[in-house]
């Protein structure tokens, strides 16, 4: 029932394995990356709902950089950062830069699952709002075309009536020719 | 939650009409309760009658402002409904700029555009983006973009040019987002160059249109639908008074001026309609 796709980036193979096992057991689709560079490549190739990343990883792409890359791919990707207890400040900094949440090591999986459920709920609400907006757009577009047609037709009729009024009220012409011209206007409509 | 009685519905809807022109009928009980409950409780009101009395007695008009913020609908998007923006980009703006440039060969070309129910500013900033893309170098032009709304909260947000990710991500193409906005965490902010083009202030469309001057383009989309037929007639008549003789009026895509203002003629371009004075 958990249909979200999750990318886990952590350089520790034991932790990677643990994430993969626990998240899969909960029903999430999990992909793992051994460092930031591999995670960035995976973000290019696949679509993920959530990225869970260690803040400190070897190489040029650490957790903060990966957060930036993920958000550039799509603002809809939610990023959870994992941090050592001593570096909560960095985690807060990550949240300022757009991370949805942070977890301290060692990761409490029950806590993680709760956070993921919340993310899933928000995504479902967002999708629902998007669907409603889409339905509204379809209805609105269809109504707009009908209203436009009526507006133009009505305006043309109004202008024709104005001309007929002028013509029929013009006492400088005899009645016969006024009627003839009026009929002409009506025939050409 | 505070319950509202049928008598109180009459009292409150009449009050909302007086302060905003927004007409709610008795079927809007749910809307009243859900949108006003928080303010009524915050003011420590025991009933909606009490709430009404407190709002009227409040000389600072703070409660009145909160009620308007809560009751006015601020559902809007960047480039909401592409029609009007394509209309502006491909027809109205090029035509107007040619006409105005011919008149002002030695001075800057003037253009004045009014978003009459600007909400949180997306419509006016979308126009600013269209202008920027169309004209490039803006130094040859003197363009005034004015946005007005009845809600203080909406005007404040519009002026700040800040939007959360939910407000930003729909309607706005990726290239425009990166070009005209910068992000601070989860918040996106319109770039200063675009923001400086637009001015927002509070204005009640029910009040007389004095001191506004004349406009080349007026957008009045999806606001008159909340007014009575009589007030709609007055509104569009006043708009006709402040529109340049060759100016343009754009209304909401599902709105109509039939039976409302005979001074305007509808004209169609591609899949959109605009109005000009007879």
The string of pLDDT tens digits covering residues B91-138 is 999 999 999 988 877 788 899 999 999 999 999 999 999 999 999 888
What is the arrangement of strands in the sheet containing B109-115, beginning at the earlier edge strand?
B198-202, B141-149, B109-115, B215-220, B243-251, B272-277, B264-269
| Ranges of chain A with pLDDT below 50 | 1
Same domain, A99 and A158: no
Same domain, B238 and B129: yes
Domain final position from B15, B43, B71? B71
Q: Which residue of A74, A79, A98 to mutate against B (max B Cβ within 10 Å)?
A: A98
Nearest CA in chain A to B264: A155
Q: Per the domain annotation, does A170 fall within a domain? A: yes
Q: Which residue of B76, B164, B172, B254 to mutate against A (max A Cβ within 10 Å)?
A: B254
Same domain, B67 and B97: no
Q: Per the domain annotation, does B259 fall within a domain? A: yes
Using a CB–CB cutoff of 8 Å, tell me whether A148 touches chain B. Answer: yes
- Please give the residue range of the domain that contains residue A12: 5-107
Nearest CA in chain B to A95: B185
Using a CB–CB cutoff of 8 Å, tell me whether A150 touches chain B. Answer: yes
Same domain, A79 and A33: yes
Nearest CA in chain A to B168: A75
Taking the CA atoms of B210, B246, B142 and B114 in sequence, report the sign of the dihedral they define. Answer: positive
Q: Per the domain annotation, does A116 fall within a domain? A: no
pLDDT along chain B (278 residues), means of 10: 91 95 90 92 93 95 94 78 90 94 83 96 95 90 95 96 84 87 87 95 96 96 95 98 97 94 94 94
Q: Per the domain annotation, does A145 fall within a domain? A: yes
pLDDT for A2: 57
Same domain, A90 and A42: yes
Q: Per the domain annotation, does B248 fall within a domain? A: yes
* DSSP bridge partners of B142: B110
pLDDT for A84: 83
Same domain, B122 and B185: yes
Domain final position from B71, B96, B119? B71
Q: Per the domain annotation, does A51 fall within a domain? A: yes
Same domain, A72 and A159: no
pLDDT for B104: 76
Interchain pair A151, B185: CB under 8 A: no
- Domain count along chain B: 2
Nearest CA in chain B to A162: B262
Same domain, B28 and B123: no
Same domain, B145 and B259: yes
The CATH number covering residue B60 comes to: 1.10.155
pLDDT for A70: 95
C-alpha distance from residue B12 to each of A85, B39, B68, B74, B224 (Å) = 54, 13, 12, 20, 20
pLDDT for B186: 76
- Please give the residue range of the domain that contains residue B109: 82-277
Same domain, A174 and A91: no
Using a CB–CB cutoff of 8 Å, tell me whether A126 touches chain B. Answer: yes
Interchain pair B254, A130: CB under 8 A: no
- Domain count along chain A: 2
Using a CB–CB cutoff of 8 Å, tell me whether A73 touches chain B. Answer: no
Same domain, B92 and B112: yes
What is the DSSP annotation of chain B?
A: -----HHHHHHHHHHHHHHH-----GGGHHHHHHHHHHHHHHTT-SSHHHHHHHHHH-TT-HHHHHHHHHHS-----TT-SHHHHHHIIIIIHHHHHHHHHHH-SSSPEEEEEEETT-TTSHHHHHHHHHHHHHHS-GGGEEEEEEEEES-HHHHHHHHHTEEEHHHHHTTS-HHHHHHHEEEETTEEEE-HHHHTTEEEEE--TTS---S---EEEEEE-SSGGGS-HHHHHHHHHHHHHHEEEEEEEEE-TT---TTT-TTEEEEEETTEEEEEE-
Q: Per the domain annotation, does B24 fall within a domain? A: yes
Q: Per the domain annotation, does B40 fall within a domain? A: yes
Nearest CA in chain B to A153: B266
Instruction: Fill in the DSSP letter of residue A86.
Output: G
Q: Per the domain annotation, does A118 fall within a domain? A: no
Using a CB–CB cutoff of 8 Å, tell me whether A133 touches chain B. Answer: yes
Using a CB–CB cutoff of 8 Å, tell me whether A131 touches chain B. Answer: no
Q: Per the domain annotation, does A88 fall within a domain? A: yes
Same domain, A101 and A143: no
Domain final position from A53, A86, A107? A107
Same domain, B22 and B145: no
Interchain pair A75, B166: CB under 8 A: no
Nearest CB to B185 within list A96, A140, A143: A96
Q: Per the domain annotation, does A125 fall within a domain? A: no
Neighbouring C-alpha atoms within 13 Å toward the C-beta of A74: 12
Interchain pair B256, A140: CB under 8 A: no
Interchain pair B258, A150: CB under 8 A: yes
Same domain, A13 and A94: yes
Nearest CA in chain B to A134: B170
Nearest CB to A147 within list B185, B256, B265: B256
The CATH number covering residue B200 comes to: 3.40.50.150
A&B contacts, CB < 8 Å: 51
Q: Per the domain annotation, does A131 fall within a domain? A: no
Q: Per the domain annotation, does B77 fall within a domain? A: no
Token output for A73: 């791919």
Same domain, A35 and A97: yes
């Amino acid at each position: 029932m958990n249909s979200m796709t999750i990318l886990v980036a952590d350089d520790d193979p034991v932790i990677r394995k643990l994430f993969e096992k626990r998240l899969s057991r909960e029903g999430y689709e999990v992909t793992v990356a051994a460092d930031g560079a591999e995670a960035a490549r995976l973000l290019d190739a696949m679509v993920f709902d959530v990225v869970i990343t260690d803040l400190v990883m070897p190489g040029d792409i650490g957790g903060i950089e990966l957060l930036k890359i993920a958000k550039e791919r799509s603002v809809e990707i939610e990023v959870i950062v994992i941090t050592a207890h001593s570096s909560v400040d960095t985690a807060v900094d990550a949240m300022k830069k757009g991370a949805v949440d942070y977890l301290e090591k060692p990761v409490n999986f029950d806590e993680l699952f709760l956070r993921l459920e919340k993310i899933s709920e928000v995504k479902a609400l967002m999708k629902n709002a998007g669907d409603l907006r889409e339905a509204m757009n379809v209805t609105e577009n269809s109504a707009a075309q009908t209203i436009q047609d009526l507006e133009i037709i009505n305006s043309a009729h109004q202008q024709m009536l104005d001309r007929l009024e002028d013509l029929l009220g013009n006492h400088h012409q005899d009645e016969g020719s006024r009627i003839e011209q009026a009929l002409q206007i009506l025939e050409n409509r | 939650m505070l319950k509202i009685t049928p008598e109180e519905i009459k009292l409150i809807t009449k009050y909302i009409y007086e302060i905003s022109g927004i007409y709610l009928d008795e079927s809007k009980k749910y809307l009243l309760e859900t949108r006003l409950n928080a303010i009524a409780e915050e003011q420590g009101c025991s009933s909606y009658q009490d709430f009404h009395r407190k709002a009227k007695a409040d000389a600072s008009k703070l409660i009145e402002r909160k009620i308007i913020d809560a009751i006015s609908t601020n559902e809007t998007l960047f480039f909401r409904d592409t029609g009007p923006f394509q209309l502006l980009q491909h027809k109205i703006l090029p035509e107007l700029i040619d006409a105005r440039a011919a008149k002002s060969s030695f001075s800057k070309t003037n253009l004045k555009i009014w978003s009459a129910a600007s909400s949180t500013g997306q419509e006016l900033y979308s126009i600013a983006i269209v202008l920027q893309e169309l004209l490039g170098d803006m130094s040859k032009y003197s363009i005034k973009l004015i946005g007005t709304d009845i809600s203080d909260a909406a005007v404040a947000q519009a002026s700040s040019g800040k939007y959360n990710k939910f407000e930003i991500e729909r309607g706005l193409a990726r290239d425009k987002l990166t070009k005209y906005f910068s992000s601070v965490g989860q918040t996106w902010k319109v770039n200063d160059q675009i923001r400086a083009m637009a001015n927002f202030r509070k204005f009640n469309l029910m009040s007389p249109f004095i001191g506004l001057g004349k406009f080349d383009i007026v957008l009045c989309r999806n606001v008159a639908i909340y007014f009575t037929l009589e007030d709609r007639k007055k509104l569009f008549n006043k708009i006709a008074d402040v529109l340049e003789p060759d100016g343009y009026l754009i209304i909401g895509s599902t709105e109509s001026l039939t039976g409302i203002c005979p001074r305007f003629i509808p004209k169609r371009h591609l899949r959109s309609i605009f109005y000009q004075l007879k």
